Amino acid sequence: MTVVEKILARASGLPSVRAGDVVEPRVDLAMSHENAALVINQFQEVFEGTGLDAKVWDPSKIAIIFDHRVPAESPKTATNQKKIREFVAAHGITKFHDVRGDVGGICHQILPEFGYVRPGSVVVGTDSHTTSHGALGAFSFGVGATEMASAWALGIAVNVEAPATIRVEVKGAFPPMVGPKDLILYLIGQLTAQGANFKVLEFHGETIRNMSTSGRLAICNMSVEAGATSGIVPGDEETIRYLREEAGVVGGIDCVGPDADAQYVRTVEVDVSALVPQIACPHAVDNVKPIDQVLGTRVHQIVIGSCTNGRLDDLADAAALLRGKKVAQGTRMLVFPASSRIFGQALDKGYIHDLMKAGAVVMNSGCGPCLGVHEGALGDGETALSTTNRNFKGRMGNPTGFVYLCSPVVAAASALTGVITDPRKA
């Protein structure tokens, strides 16, 4: 069995599962953000007329994190958040992260950071980037609000067709100024935006084994941009280190690997030792080009942050390039750390100071400009270069804008010049 087949077998109480089997795994963690407002509405509809008490199956297994529009940008959002708070209190949901500067942040950073995700677990989330948590060896996938309401009521994911798996073998050491973001962009370019639709990307190889959990989160996060149900890195020593040292997890951690005779629909091999910085060009994430094809493109807004690349190492890389220098005139730079904890660590290490002295605006942790609902919108015809995960038309709040996606070092090097710049030559 593949890793996901094994996880599904265990969670469904079956001796084995094969791709294509229909199973109903128990849910170990059910995550929502502000769209819990819709989940609550659908959840209440489920119980309407049944005569049953509208109770969630297990309040300790539900996580709700406010991140999409924090602090609220409108009375409507604030009222949604208020309703969710009331529901959280009424149902005794403990894994709740409100708008806070100590324990707040983006859901895809909060879940790993607080040790809510373990290898071998089944995670569902009402967010397509729930694929992120495969970085910790979990089977973690995005669902809609009604499907989440069903999970809240039943404690299982109903009628799940076990996905087939693509094995991704990655070898080689990254050259300087090239890293996990370049790897996943390159891979999405190769696979295309639907190349992994209904499939899992299972990552292997020395490059993955040597990669930090931060990097693994970035590649699993963006697996959905190739259409994948989930990305997954089988749990290993690094997973255990991260959970023990950074998430404070005590007790058993059970890493699940694939069987030697696991069946894959396809194996993709990548050697990163000659990889160059990659850029996803407007308006599709699979429109990926090596950086030399877009060098010199004028950029009005640089964005570093998000659930993809707003972690401490990302901020450290950006600060190292910007320290003692200035963001180019005519270009604005926005930085939003992935969590309040990371924000605090970046403060302690001086990265925030470096970035602000260079001219960057450092914003509170949240989804910020990434999805164009809150702050950091583009002006008509403007161009952004961003470490986020999507560049669809209109994504940064303006359908006439252009969004290019890149790694933190490309974004930082380009902030200094105001045009897309190769960090290897900066």
Partner 1 sequence: MAKVILKLENDISTDDIYPGRFMATVLPTETPQFAFFDRTDFNAKLRAGAFAPHSIIVGGENFGCGSSREQACSTLKGHRVAVVARSIARIFLQNSINLGLPVVICPGLEAGEGDELEITANQVLNRTTGRAFDQVQLPAARKGIMDAGGLIPYTQARLMARGS
Residues that bind partner 1 (CB under 8 A): 22, 34-35, 37-38, 41-42, 45-47, 49-50, 52, 68-69, 74, 76-77, 80, 126-128, 130, 142-147, 149-150, 153-154, 158-161, 193-194, 197-198, 227, 229, 284, 286, 371-373, 390, 392-395, 397, 399
- Shortest reach from residue 400's CB to partner 1, in Å: 9
Terminal CA-CA length for the chain: 46
**DSSP class per residue in 140-159:** EEE--HHHHHHHHHHSB--S
Burial class (CB in 10 A: 0-12, 13-18, 19+), 249: middle
Instruction: Tell me the chain's radius of gyration from C-alpha atoms.
Output: 21
User: Closer CB to partner 1, residue 193 or residue 270?
Assistant: 193
H/E stretch holding 4:
helix 3-12
Those residues whose C-beta lies under 8 Å from the C-beta of residue 162, and which sit 6 or more positions away, are 4, 5, 8, 17, 18, 19, 20, 21, 22, 23
- List 266's β-bridge partners, or say none: 166
- Shortest reach from residue 53's CB to partner 1, in Å: 10
> Are 361 and 333 within 8 A, CB to CB?
yes
User: Closer CB to partner 1, residue 220 or residue 420?
Assistant: 220
- 60 by DSSP, 3-state: which? helix
- Shortest reach from residue 177's CB to partner 1, in Å: 29
> Are 256 and 237 within 8 A, CB to CB?
no
- Shortest reach from residue 1's CB to partner 1, in Å: 19
User: Closer CB to partner 1, residue 130 or residue 309?
Assistant: 130
User: Closer CB to partner 1, residue 127 or residue 354?
Assistant: 127
- Shortest reach from residue 23's CB to partner 1, in Å: 9
Residue 417, Cβ neighbours under 10 Å: how many? Answer: 15
User: Closer CB to partner 1, residue 124 or residue 358?
Assistant: 124
- Shortest reach from residue 333's CB to partner 1, in Å: 22
Of the CA atoms within 13 Å of residue 74, those in its CB half-sphere come to 8
The CA distance from 220 to 236, in Å, is 15
- Shortest reach from residue 190's CB to partner 1, in Å: 16
**DSSP class per residue in 13-33:** T-S---TT-EE-PBPSEEEES
User: Closer CB to partner 1, residue 240 or residue 373?
Assistant: 373
- Shortest reach from residue 355's CB to partner 1, in Å: 26
User: Closer CB to partner 1, residue 123 or residue 413?
Assistant: 123
The CA distance from 396 to 374, in Å, is 9
Rounded to 5°, angle at Cα 200 from 125 and 16: 95
User: Closer CB to partner 1, residue 214 or residue 230?
Assistant: 230
User: Closer CB to partner 1, residue 19 or residue 272?
Assistant: 19
- Shortest reach from residue 100's CB to partner 1, in Å: 20
